[in-house]
């Protein structure tokens, strides 16, 4: 799956928190070293410092960048804020673009996937997880430029195989989106990619329980677990909440908030072989 070429124009946007200028400058330099022409975001001062501008301003920046002459849109970082601006974006009217982001950006992935657009869950150029991690950079670049259709990693938790559309991302954001105006459970047979950061076991329990009660896991045919950085030992919680689903589970797959994170697609069909530790695009 190769989606970008040298010389392509890409836009950076700030749908959540503001990136530190020196970190973002390093990230832009990396993207330019890949041969990309990069348009950077304009951060407007806002009364809430954890947001990179007003909700309307961030939504407008997102739409304007998306509808400009670019091949891809990269989110500079997560943090918090995507959920506040998602209802201000005309998702069904957006033309096809490559979209890269993770963490808080999970809710934007869900909106784009629901509108029929595949997306890319990977490291963001305004974060240390990108600029200070050459392996994560390499894996993102390989996915975007050279194409990548299969991954072998992780540890089998529940053996078995599943085939379905890849969905998910950050558990806290999946739970936060429950009840939104366009919220829905995944399509039948979906394979869920799950990760989180800084959530202690009892809080992760609460988030997963919320998704279970909302029926989010009902159509899921397989699960791939990423990183749980800063969460402590959550193996018992994951087994307790996800084990009864009776679907194949592959753990420690290495995407999310972790060194050398894999870049993975969402909104596309794949086959999970939890026994062999493989995820393969159809």
Q: In whole angstroms, what is the distance from residue 212 CA to residue 172 CA?
A: 13
CA distance linking residue 159 with residue 191, whole number of Å: 14
Contact 204, 180 (CB under 8 A): no
- Return phi, psi of residue 191, to 5°: -105, 120
What is the bridge-based pairing of β-strands 155-158 and 222-229?
Answer: unpaired
CB count, 10 Å around CB of 161?
Answer: 14
Indicate which residues carry an active-site annotation.
Answer: 103, 195, 257
Q: How many residues does the chain have?
A: 282
198 touches 167 (CB < 8 A)? no
Reference 245, options 172, 184, 162; nearest CA is 162
The CA distance from 230 to 279, in Å, is 26
């Amino acid at each position: 799956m190769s989606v970008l070429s040298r010389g392509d124009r890409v836009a950076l946007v700030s749908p959540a928190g503001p990136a530190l200028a020196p970190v973002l400058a390093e990230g832009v330099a990396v993207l330019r070293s890949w041969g990309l022409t990069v348009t950077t975001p304009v951060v407007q001062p806002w009364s809430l410092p954890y947001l990179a501008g007003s909700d309307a301003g961030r939504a407008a920046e997102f739409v304007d960048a998306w509808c400009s002459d670019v091949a891809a849109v990269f989110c500079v970082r997560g943090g918090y804020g995507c959920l506040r601006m998602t209802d201000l974006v005309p998702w069904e009217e957006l033309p096809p673009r490559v979209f890269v982001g993770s963490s808080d950006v999970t809710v934007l992935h869900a909106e784009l996937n629901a509108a029929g657009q595949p997306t890319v869950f990977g490291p963001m150029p305004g974060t240390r997880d990108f600029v200070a991690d050459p392996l994560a950079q390499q894996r993102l670049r390989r996915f975007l430029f050279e194409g990548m259709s299969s991954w072998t990693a992780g540890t089998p938790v529940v053996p078995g195989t599943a085939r379905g559309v890849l969905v998910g991302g950050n558990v806290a954001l999946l739970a936060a989106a429950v009840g939104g105006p366009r919220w829905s459970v995944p399509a039948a047979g979906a394979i869920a990619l799950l990760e989180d950061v800084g959530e202690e076991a009892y809080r992760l329990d609460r988030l997963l329980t919320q998704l279970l009660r909302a029926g989010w896991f009902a159509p899921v045919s397989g699960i791939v677990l990423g990183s749980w950085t800063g969460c402590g030992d959550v193996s018992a919680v994951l087994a307790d909440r996800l084990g009864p689903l009776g679907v194949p589970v592959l753990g420690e797959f290495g995407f999310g908030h972790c060194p050398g994170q894999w870049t993975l697609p969402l909104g596309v069909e794949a086959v999970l072989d939890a026994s062999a530790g493989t995820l393969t695009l159809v």
